[in-house]
């Protein structure tokens, strides 16, 4: 199985449209929107349009926005 969170962070050819469940949370408790905001801002709008929850907090209590 492909780790889409790792792909989002590192693959320059990543296509955010391959994310089937935008509500999925990574093993380190971060959302796709948090990952995009931190590593690949160009994908944040696409993920936002998928109506990802904005209120998810990571282990540090931070949200994507």
pLDDT computed for residue 20 by the predictor: 93
pLDDT at residue 51, rounded to an integer: 84
Residue 38 confidence (pLDDT): 94
Chain segment 4-53, per-residue pLDDT in tens: 999 999 999 999 999 999 999 999 999 999 999 999 999 999 999 998 88
DSSP SS3 for 25: strand
Look at residue 24 and give its three-state secondary structure.
coil
Specify the length of the chain in residues. Answer: 65
Identify the CA nearest to 50 among candidates 2, 1, 4, 3.
4
Of 43, 42, 14, which Cα lies nearest the Cα of 32?
43
pTM: 0.89
1: pLDDT strictly greater than 80: no
């Amino acid at each position: 199985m492909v780790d889409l969170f790792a792909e989002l962070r590192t693959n320059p050819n990543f296509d955010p449209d391959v994310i089937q469940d935008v509500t999925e949370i990574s093993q380190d408790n971060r959302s796709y929107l948090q990952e995009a905001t931190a590593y690949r801002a160009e994908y944040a709008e696409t993920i936002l349009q998928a109506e990802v929850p904005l209120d998810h907090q990571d282990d540090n209590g931070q949200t994507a926005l």
